[in-house]
Amino acid sequence: MKQKRHWSKRVRWGRLLVLLGLLVGLCYSWPTYQPPGRPEVRLRLNYLERVIQEGATPPTTLGRLTQLNAEWGLFTLSFSTYALANLAQRQPDLRAEAAATIGRAIEVALTAPIRQPFEFSAPAEHAEPTLPSSVLYLGHLNLILGCHRQLVPNSPYQHLHDSLSAALAARYQQEPSGNLPSYPGRRWLPDNTVALASLALHSRLTGSAYAAAGHRWVARAQRKWLDPTTGLLASMVDAAGQPSEEPRGSHLGWSIWFLTQVDSAFARQQYALYQHHYSTNLGVLRLYSEFAHSYETGAGNVDSGPLILGYGIPATAFAFADAVALGDWRNAQRLRRVISLGSRKIRGGDELRYGVRLIDLEVNPLSEALLLWADVPGGG
């Protein structure tokens, strides 16, 4: 009898502990995500603005980053711009500062260190004669131009914005594969979503018809570019427009954010499927994998970064940006915790940036540009 009472007591304590665990999990899972406060944002902007003002010549921070990877220099400028544009929408008193910094980002993006790595061929028939034909470069440049024009309606770059948007729209109209190349023979869908988002923004700002390119692209994607098992976008297509690489987490997370600007319903659908097939919900945290149902550990590649049991830093970080953009605050909170666990603050004077904890990744200032972009939702 005594042994039975003792066992009953252990069961009650076990139930209490389980209940306590559930309550703690519920508290941590509650949709409490909030964007960073102004004092922290101020310090982070100080760092990024200094980097952009310095330009991209070899001795500069941005120049050294570009020498490591040409795309990283461009992405630092572009994602800093997207973060600034979002901040300016939420904080009108930042508009003048954001416009000035984005204007400087345009100047730097047009310089040789940023532009030349994408000059793999002569400009396409409808492209600006002084610009590369790579959709990777042109898409980001055009979206930066649009962000500047959004803040400065009489932007000195409005002619370039108009002519580049017209060139991109014409190329999409004539491209058999439906996707313009980033590099010779390499047509990545994520890079094309950026260009299509830039055309959608041009239409919102000027009333042009260029947003139709994005509508046609989404319709074709739904017919031809979705993986039959997951329903998610392929990563790449060939010259005939046939999928040539399976969906990847880093590419999906990236694409979804830009697709919110093109077709929000399709973006939300892809977000839900991405979450279903590529993520693991741990209650207080959520992790995203690079490949569906893959649990390999390895070095990965330049897009995925190192993989731990299949989970990747970019796949998870871009999912965080998607959750913030789509107002999925519960998931955003779980993902921000993952990022907080994997990052460390680096304070120097009146600047603040984030580094990667445990893994030596020399990607600043790109990592800070991406994190600030992901942290701050658009809208007022």
What is the rounded CA–CA span in Å between residue 152 and residue 354? 30
> DSSP letter at 1?
-
How much is the pTM?
Answer: 0.89
Helix, strand, or coil (residue 88): helix
Helix, strand, or coil (residue 145): helix
Mean pLDDT per 10-residue interval, the chain, length 380 residues: 52 53 49 82 95 96 93 97 95 96 98 93 58 96 98 97 98 97 96 98 98 98 97 97 95 97 98 94 88 76 68 88 93 88 81 67 78 80
**Which CATH class name applies to 34-375?**
mainly alpha
**What residues are paired with 287 via a beta bridge?**
280
How far lies 350's CA from each of 42, 46, 277, in Å? 9, 7, 42
Q: What is the pLDDT of residue 34?
A: 82
Domain ranges of the chain: 34-375
